[in-house]
């Protein structure tokens, strides 16, 4: 030892074992596939994932699909709270259901990569958001935790609308899924006085009824049925959104319209506007998936589809929230609409 430490005696002690989990999944993956293979396919390895409860959903490029078991094991070792890893092969069919397949699961200290026990593959989970517990099953109804910030933005806009009207809102959510947007709005005291929640997917409506039963603490039906008024302040059920306004008891009632079918939002806007109460200011809040090069033309289409705007409010403009693919962007917008008397 250098001076002045050379005068001290040196004793040796056995160190404590470092039991901390290495949360860098790349380190685990490199041990499983080797540094050479890791570098060779560097751009193809999954760059992101999504947590839904104790599940992880990950997209795997075909280039590295042969290593799906190693990817699953690396993810499970890096995230000890995860029970199940699912490969996402994209949204399929008219109900926008994710094509998911289990590629890894945890059972105590054991990791299963092949012949995963059926009981470990359950996909119905309970998550917490906005102070609410939300039951969802991504194999039956589309749900994304990545949209939580969007739902919080919608909440802020809804509170602005309540201040403008001076009363609680009547909300129309004709693509409600399992109800995550409603969960955020209903959690705010005095914000919603009436809610229309419908979806074309019966499985989504079944999960929605389960959620509403707990949120409202009322006896909702257990089986999904066509859209109907279940309580004085709740209209719930299966419905084609474009046909809802044909019911005279439902048309012209909403103050806030949520349009969450991003592939078709712009095309469907004209058929959904009749749901709004045009005797007072109202709002449309929507999401759309468009090519970045066509965002400005999409803005024009949205504006052409809407009634006149409320004086002093900005024109609806798509804001990019994240990439949907290499060429498409997921965007959101809102439009403040003038009452008929101001048109």
In this prediction, residue 41 has a pLDDT band, given cuts at 50, 70 and 90, of confident
pLDDT digit string (tens) for 322-341?
888 778 999 999 999 999 86
Q: Is 166 helix (H, G, I), strand (E, B) or coil?
A: coil
Give the residue extent of every domain in the chain. Answer: 25-123, 140-342
Q: Which fold would CATH assign to domain 140-342?
A: Rossmann fold (3.40.50)
Residues whose CB falls within 8 Å of the CB of residue 13, separated by 6 or more in sequence, listed in order: none
Terminus-to-terminus CA distance in the chain, angstroms?
87
pTM assigned to the model: 0.88
Phi and psi at residue 322, in whole multiples of 5°?
-170, 165
Place of tokens 């397949």: 101
The answer, yes or no, to whether residue 191 has pLDDT greater than 60, is: yes
> What is residue 108's three-state secondary structure?
coil
Q: What is the pLDDT of residues 110-121, one digit of tens each?
A: 999 999 999 999
Question: Would you state the pLDDT for residue 20?
Answer: 65
Give me the CATH code for the 25-123 domain, please. 3.30.300.110
Give the pLDDT score at 14: 78
Q: Given this model, what pLDDT does residue 226 score?
A: 97
Calculate Rg over the CA atoms of the chain.
Answer: 25
Do the Cβ atoms of 174 and 239 come closer than 8 Å? yes
Considering only the C-alpha atoms of the chain, give the largest distance between any 2 of them, rounded to a whole number of Å: 94
Sole residue written with tokens 């060779």: 40
Closest CA to 22 of 75, 86, 94, 68: 75
């Amino acid at each position: 030892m250098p001076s002045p430490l050379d005068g001290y005696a040196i004793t040796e002690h056995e160190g404590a074992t470092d039991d901390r989990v290495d949360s860098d999944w790349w380190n685990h993956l490199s041990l499983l596939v080797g540094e050479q293979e890791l570098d060779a396919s560097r751009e193809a390895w999954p760059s992101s994932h999504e947590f839904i409860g104790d599940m992880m959903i990950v997209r795997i490029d075909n280039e590295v699909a042969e290593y799906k078991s190693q990817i699953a094991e690396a993810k499970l070792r890096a995230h000890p709270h995860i029970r199940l890893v699912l490969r996402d092969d994209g949204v399929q069919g008219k109900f926008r259901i994710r094509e998911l397949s289990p590629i890894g699961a945890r059972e105590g200290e054991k990791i299963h990569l092949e012949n995963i026990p059926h009981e470990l593959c359950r996909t119905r989970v309970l998550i917490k958001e906005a102070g609410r517990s939300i039951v969802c099953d991504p194999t039956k109804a589309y749900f994304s935790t990545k949209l939580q910030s969007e739902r919080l933005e919608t909440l802020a806009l809804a509170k602005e609308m309540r201040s403008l009207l001076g009363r609680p809102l009547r909300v129309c959510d004709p693509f409600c899924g399992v109800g995550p947007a409603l969960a955020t709005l209903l959690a705010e005291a005095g914000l919603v006085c009436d809610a229309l929640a419908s979806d074309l997917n019966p499985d989504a409506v079944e999960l929605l009824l389960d959620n509403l039963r707990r949120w409202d603490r009322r006896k909702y039906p257990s089986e999904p049925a066509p859209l109907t008024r279940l309580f004085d302040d709740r209209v719930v059920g299966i419905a084609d959104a474009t046909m809802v306004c044909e019911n005279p008891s439902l048309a012209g009632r909403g103050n806030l319209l949520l349009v969450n079918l991003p592939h078709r939002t712009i095309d469907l806007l004209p058929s959904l506007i009749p749901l709004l109460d045009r005797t007072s200011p109202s709002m449309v809040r929507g999401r759309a998936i468009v090519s970045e090069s066509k965002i400005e033309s999409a803005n024009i289409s949205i504006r052409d589809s809407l009634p006149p705007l409320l004086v002093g409010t900005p024109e609806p403009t798509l804001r990019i929230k994240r990439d949907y693919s290499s060429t498409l962007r997921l965007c959101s917008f809102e439009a403040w609409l003038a009452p008929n008397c101001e048109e």
